Amino acid sequence: MFALLSLLLCSMQSCVVQRIDHTPYAKTDYYRHTLQALDEQPPVAREGDSLQAGWAKVNITPPVGSPLAGYGKRKGLRYSTVHDSVWVRTFAFDNGSAEVIFVALDMLIAPMTVADALEKEYAALGLSPGQVYLSATHTHTSFGGWGQKLVGRLMAGRYSRQLVQQTTAHIVQSIQLARQNKQPAQIGYGIAYAPHLVRNRLTGSLAGRDTTIRFFKIEQTSGKTAVLATFAAHPTILPSMDPVLSRDYPGELVDQLEKSVDFAAFAAGAVGSQAVVAPHGDTYESTAAVGQQLAVAIMEKLPAVELKSTVPLGYGRHPLLLPRPQWRLNTNYRFAPFLFNGLFGKYPTYINSMQLGEVVLLGVPADYSGELIPELEQQGRPVVVTGFNGGYIGYITPDRHYHLKKYETRSMNFYGPQSGSYLTEIMEKIMRSYQPNDGRNN
């Protein structure tokens, strides 16, 4: 009997705990099938005679008493005060041959439940899912209530179907308004730098930082001007246990920009490993200072941005097949995939792409590390990476950091030691699929 019980326990352990799989991703079926999907479904990229652009924002703030999202230790903490309301900010771009929609949510992520609900709305809007590019500011003090599985509820509080439906309806409304507000317009791309506002929290490396502010300037013929900006520092300034709703520094940034332009929006960039430097600690003085300094950096460069009224637009949604989950127990062992899926859920994953002029935007379902951006920039054209596109696969960091016993590389690395190389290679291939840009993708 003792021998039988021992055998049973060992069998159970082998089912629950497994060795880390180090099979080179280039030899796997998930890699081959992802490449096949890229070949079969290339992005749409079309030239046009003239650009039209519109924008709109809709308040998405739920009632006081809704849960916050961003930290598991909150355990569903509900906010009792709204410091600053949260919004969905949307751009619609149309060059007569293609239309693309950019959505920025003042939320931790574009939630999977909201993204799924939106899928049912696109047809009535005359849009395909690939035309809508979802992003989020990644503030850790916005509302939750959208996570269904156990981990989702820990990070975002108790699930609320009504809250998901309301958020979805507000996003649809913002798309409709942005399209209604389209006018002939020009667009240009610029960069600025803020090295004093970001640090590498994983390694401390000065070289391993993405210090670039990337932004678009859009100007309608009426004279109205808008800015769409990204930055890589994590919006985690405010105290985790304060029951207060806020946009963190991205909210201060857009508010400051809107003192000089008619409309502004922000999307989190490659925030993996990138921490914000808060000059006054975890206070609203810090969120104000960071937002103001970023706005000043952008406004200094804005007048010099070259604008064009005839630009190519493109879009795509690219399936991203993944290995079996490798949520680690320790250096050599992982929990069985069924445990991970039971706790986190199992959702479709994809990369979004959008072309605005010469720039390619890539939306990923992850905290993608700013350390990986130089590899994408080697493709020879401007690239903007944003995260949290309606899915989530954890932190994506350089493979060389996999051994580090840190939060990003141990607790939040969900898919194994080659996630950084794999995702970056697929993103590079998507970028190349937009070249050459001579109208031959029509």
Q: What is the pLDDT of residue 8?
A: 38
Residuewise pLDDT in 10s, the chain (442 residues): 434 333 333 444 557 899 999 999 999 999 999 999 999 999 999 998 899 999 999 999 999 999 999 998 998 899 999 999 999 999 999 999 999 999 999 999 999 999 999 999 999 999 999 999 999 999 999 999 999 988 989 899 999 999 999 999 999 999 999 999 999 999 999 999 999 999 999 999 999 999 999 999 999 999 999 999 999 999 999 999 999 999 999 999 999 999 999 999 999 999 999 999 999 999 999 999 999 999 999 999 999 999 999 999 999 999 999 999 999 999 999 999 999 999 999 889 999 999 999 999 999 999 999 999 999 999 989 999 999 999 999 999 999 999 999 999 999 999 999 999 999 999 999 999 997 544 433 3
- CA-closest candidate to residue 88, choices 69, 63, 106: 106
Q: Please, which residues have CB within 8 angstroms of residue 89's CB and are 6 or more apart in sequence?
A: 55, 56, 57, 103, 104, 106, 174, 254, 263, 264, 265, 266
E strand intervals along 251-342: 263-268, 274-276, 313-319, 333-335
Question: Across the chain, how many H-helices and E-strands are there?
Answer: 11, 23
Q: What is the pLDDT of residue 440?
A: 38
Distance CA 130, CA 43 (A): 9
Burial of 234 (0-12, 13-18, 19+ CB in 10 A): buried
314 φ, ψ (degrees, to nearest 5) = -150, 165
Q: What is the pLDDT of residue 14?
A: 56
What single string gives the DSSP state of each residue in 417-434? TTHHHHHHHHHHHHHHHT
CB 132 within 8 A of CB 114: no
Q: What is the pLDDT of residue 138?
A: 98
Distance CA 436, CA 423 (A): 22
Radius of gyration of the chain (CA): 22
Which DSSP state fits 62?
P
**Per-domain residue ranges for the chain?**
19-433
138 annotated binding-site participant = yes
Q: pTM to 2 decimals?
A: 0.95
Which tokens go with 237? 């300034």
Q: What is the pLDDT of residue 9?
A: 37
CA angle 364, 56, 211 (to 5 degrees): 40
Q: What is the pLDDT of residue 438?
A: 45
